[in-house]
Structure 1
Amino acid sequence: METRGSISRFPAQERSAVSSGTPSLTELEEILHSGQTSCRHVDEVWPNLFLGDMFMSHDRYGLWKLGITHVLNAAHGKTCCKGSDDFYGTTVNYHGVPANDLPTFDLSPYFFPAAEYIHEALSTPGARIFVHCAVGVSRSAALVLSYLMIYHGFSLVDAIQKVKENRWIFPNRGFLKQLRVLDINLCKEGMTEADGQMT
């Protein structure tokens, strides 16, 4: 398993969009408020990556029809969200993140492990992953955003806009703060790599 220090998976220049600074929380919330304000039980927000709610997570037949091979439950162990290897059986690879949808909950320790799980799933030929929590707009959305930032070099704003092309999301304020820190750190890392390439 790779460590945080060796997690750069994109050329430094690809993060140049954030070199001018990460937006404030208020600006991020304005971006999140814009556009459509409704979503379905499940939406494909990146090729073979589906973001949705607990209703869809309980619909094993519906997941089978979508061709889902992996499930990442961002509300693992919570009463509203079933989810385990036993629930899905041997045809689905399951990973649980026991997050609470509270601004005080620290989701950041799960950003890299969840991103790695999503990346490994999508690197498997024919695989499709379903990421969910209770409503599919806060916990699970934050983990999908972190995946796009860590593995595809998106700035936080670009990641939000990419997901919002297909689904309304609204991570709580605490998660947004943590994603801002991730954005700033990845940007610094990218600039350090760029400096190293120039010397």
Structure 2
Amino acid sequence: MGSHKSSNGENCLSIPCESPNIEQLEDMLHEGQLSCNHVDEVWPNLFLGNMYMSHDRYGLWRLGITHVLNAAHGKMCCKGSDDFYGTTVKYYGVAANDLPTFDMSVFFYPSSKYIHQALSTAGAKIFVHCAVGVSRSATLVLAYLMIYHDYTLVDAIQKVKEKRWIFPNRGFLRQLITLNSKLQRKSQNE
């Protein structure tokens, strides 16, 4: 396979931008940096991280976080709430399980809308997290980049991986591939 150009005009590193398979995506996810911090800015004013950072109210305040999206809402280690963050931070919880059988796709559009509305607010910064910050929350950030910024799945992964190691589970990757196909068809029909 040769290098392909994406809709953004960027090279897709030997992966067809339109139809990557699970193995190609996993190979891509294994490349490069294989560690991450408690929090990393992966898009302007969009921070991706883990539960440790989600519990650090002072650290979030220092970053200027105004919105939180918890992709592991209600789980033992990630019990976020409006009460925990207080009146200065808006909270949105997604009660997702990090299992390949879990249907994360039902949260793609509502979560993307929340992220988009947050980033459309002057001076706002959003922190998206789950337990480790590499699967559930990363999946929702990838969906956001695909839905609101017309990134292909491959381009979205490459963009986030510039700043943070991520590794959505195989079920989430399948759901993102489906989203990628739907968005590609939609853009071709416009």
TM-based fold match above 0.5: yes
- Aligned with 2:41 (options 41, 44, 47): 44
Task: Give the TM-score of the pair, scaled to structure 1.
Answer: 0.88
Amino acid at match of 1:76: H
- CA distance 1:64–1:115, shift in 2 (3 Å): same
Report if the CA contact (8 A) 2:17-2:153 is conserved.
no
1:157 aligns with 2:160: no
User: Larger deviation: 17-26 or 142-151?
Assistant: 17-26
Q: Deviations over 1:4-51 (max 9, x none)?
A: xxxxxxxxx947889863111100000000000000000000000000
Counterpart among 136, 139, 144 of residue 147 in structure 1: 144
Letter in 1 for 2:134: V
Q: How many residues align?
A: 181
The structural deviation recorded for 1:82 is 2.2
Counterpart pick for 1:121 among 112, 118, 129: 118
Amino acid across the alignment from 2:124:
A
Change in Cα spacing, 1:20 to 1:143, as seen in structure 2 (3 Å) is: closer
- CA distance in 1: counterparts of 2:134 and 2:25, whole angstroms: 15
Q: Does the Cα contact within 8 Å between 1:15 and 1:190 map onto a contact in 2?
A: no
Contact 1:15-1:187 at 8 Å conserved across structures: no
Alpha carbons 2:51, 2:77 under 8 Å: kept: yes
Q: Secondary structure at the match of 1:126?
A: coil
- Structure whose residues are more often helix by fraction: 1
Provide the C-alpha distance between the structure 2 equivalents of 1:20 and 1:115, rounded to a whole number of angstroms: 21
CA contact (8 A) 1:118 1:129 kept: yes
* SS class of match (1:55): helix
| Aligned twin of 1:184 | 181
1:74 equivalent to 2:71? Answer yes
The structure 1 segments of at least 4 consecutive aligned residues displaced by more than 3 Å after TM superposition are: 13-20
Q: How does 1:88-127 map to 2 (within 5 A)?
A: 88-127=85-124
2:18 pairs, out of 16, 21, 28, with: 21
The secondary structure found in structure 2 opposite 1:101 is: coil
Q: Deviations over 1:155-182 (max 9, x none)?
A: 0000000000000000000000000000
Aligned residue number for residue 65 of structure 1: 62
- Residue 128 of structure 2 corresponds to 131
**Which secondary structure state, in structure 2, belongs to the residue aligned with residue 43 of structure 1?**
strand
Q: Secondary structure at the match of 1:90?
A: coil
RMSD: 1.6
Bigger mean CA deviation after superposition, 18-27 or 135-144: 18-27
Q: Equivalents in 2 of 1:22, 1:97: separation in Å? A: 28
Secondary structure of 1:51 counterpart: strand
Residue aligning to 1:87: 84
Higher RCO, Cα 8 Å, sep 6+: 1
Query: TM-score when scaled to structure 2?
Result: 0.92
The answer for unaligned runs of 5 or more in structure 1 is: 1-12, 194-199
> Given that residues 46 and 126 in structure 2 are in contact (C-alpha distance below 8 angstroms), is that contact kept between their aligned partners in structure 1?
yes
Unpaired segments of 5 or more residues in structure 2? 1-5
2:139 alignment partner, SS class: helix
